[in-house]
Amino acid sequence: MTSSTAKSSWVVAELAAVRLAVPVGTVLGAVSRPPVHSPLGRREGAVCQVIMYQGQAIPVLDLALWVDIGAPAPNHQAHQYVIVLRHGDRMVGVLVDAVVGVASLRVESVVRLHHNDSENEIFHSIAQDDSGAIPLSLLDMPRLMALTSIWSTDVQEGGTCTELAPKTEEDSAVANWAVFESGGRRLAVRAEEVGELLELPVLERLPGSGVAGICRWRGRHVPVLDGAALFGSVGEQRTAGLLLTLGFGGMSLGFTVERVVHLRRISAQASSQALPLGTPSFVQSIVLDDGLPLYVINTARLFNLFPEASMSRAEVDKSLIAARGKTNAGSYIVYQAGAMVASPIAGLEEVLAGSSTVCTSMEWRGNALPVIDMRTESSVAGNVLVLRHEGILMAVLIERIESLVTPHGGHLSTVALPGARFEMLTTGRGPSQASYRVLDLCGIAASRLSRGN
């Protein structure tokens, strides 16, 4: 690669009159500055407060106490966000006014201006991005960490997953969302569900799966989704050079990203619009003030659609992941019962319309059948599956039948995790591709029945 084509990715933020940039690999995330500030009393330095980020206390720096950041524009809202940075195993937050996005900088665009190697200078080089706007001031992370002498040790470096904090009513009404482009579409995910933005690593294949591959991230195996494949735009010429990791329920998924647009607040009352044909089911389309569609990710639904995310909970021996080598010999039903799952059709006698009234038994063709309720919401009428298992008839309530997979209509693969081994059924291609965990529905229903449901 020649110097004219070598590029690196930097997160760009605004601080009064300064446009500062930090390497993508050092940024863990960006959060709104808490309305109630928790000061950390110190006689000197730039530490202005402490915030909690993914369960850890992070000291926050106000760079205006160290360097001249110029005069802000009229009606400028200062210090709205904190970007959380990591250098080695040390973490610190920096106050900024806005998070602009990610810039791809050519190596030759970086110009060093300060040449005296002063230990007190945290900005010594600038760069010009393709927008031609105000030059970017490049933050020297090693000098910043040496100068502050205060940080939080990154205890998650070893791979501990953290649960998401519960959302308040105010968070649900208006929330911060990270907006990015993947597969040529503009997507948004809640800011607190973003794990990290980093350079896209080399992916290893996961045969028989609906994901683009897996990568190692912070001690875990993380499945990575390709936005171009999900939205059916594989043939279009786009380069995804970044990886955005998302967290939900102690699990992680990665998304290939072409560029990060910005961090913005979106109201839950934003007007929605109909989804184009072939759009993945885990997004909702809304229109913002610029008139362009924004696909908002339903994270719970996304993780339900890709059960491979469970492998990010713990170390996985990849030798236990069976190669994609067999199609489904029999038919399978895909259905919603808490999560979207699949089961062999063998043992299924009939599918009936459900009822929101739950009874312990029901009549079917002159037989009294015990009822097992597998719905997460009992108010949903759903469907009734009449099953026969080892000569015993029973009825299982589910939320809905999604589809029928005919013989050889999908691929089966086996995933083994510490203490768990399960099959996955993958169907479709491009935007319609999805993977479902295979459940032995008859066996589960019989087990629940024996335990008194």
Segment (H or E) for 450: helix 441-450
pLDDT tens digit sequence for 277-297? 667 778 888 877 667 788 889
Check pLDDT > 80 for residue 270.
no
Write out pLDDT tens, residues 393-427.
Answer: 998 888 888 888 888 788 888 776 555 577 888 87
Distance CA 212, CA 227 (A): 9
pLDDT category at 163 given cuts 50, 70, 90 is: very low
Residue 166 has pLDDT above 50, yes or no: no
Asked which of 18-22, 373-377, 426-430 is least confident by mean pLDDT, the reply is 426-430
Q: Which domains does the chain have, with CATH numbers?
A: 7-158 (2.40.50.180), 169-313 (2.40.50.180), 321-450 (no CATH)
Q: What are the residues facing 373 on neighbouring strands?
A: 397
Provide the pLDDT confidence category of residue 125 given band limits of 50, 70 and 90. confident
Alpha carbon distance 351, 119 (integer Å): 73
Q: Look up residue 204 and give its DSSP letter.
A: B
User: What is the pTM for the complete model shown?
Assistant: 0.48
- Is residue 177 a contact partner of residue 167, using CB atoms and an 8 Å limit? no
Which 8-state DSSP code applies to residue 142? H
> Quick check: 201 pLDDT over 80?
yes
Residue 101 has pLDDT above 80, yes or no: no
- Is residue 164's pLDDT more than 60? no
pLDDT confidence bin for 44, thresholds 50/70/90: low
Least confident residue range of 16-20, 84-88, 230-234, 315-319: 315-319
Let me know how long the chain is: 453
**pLDDT value at 243 more than 80:** yes
Q: Which of 229-243, 362-376, 428-442 has the lowest mean pLDDT?
A: 229-243
pLDDT, residue 343, reads 92
Mean pLDDT score, 192-204: 82
Radius of gyration (C-alpha) of the chain in whole angstroms: 26
Q: Residues 362, 372: contact at Cβ < 8 Å?
A: no
Quickly state the pLDDT bin for 322 (edges 50, 70, 90): very low
Q: How far apart are alpha carbons 262 and 187 in whole angstroms?
A: 11
* pLDDT of amino acid 254: 92
Decide if pLDDT at 4 tops 80: no
Residue 75 CB contacts under 8 Å (≥ 6 apart), including other chains: none
Give 219 or 399, the one with higher predicted confidence: 399
User: CB of 272 within 8 A of CB of 284?
Assistant: yes
Mean of per-residue pLDDT scores for the chain = 77
Query: Is the model's pLDDT at 144 over the cut of 70?
Result: yes
Chain centroid, CA 112 distance in Å: 36
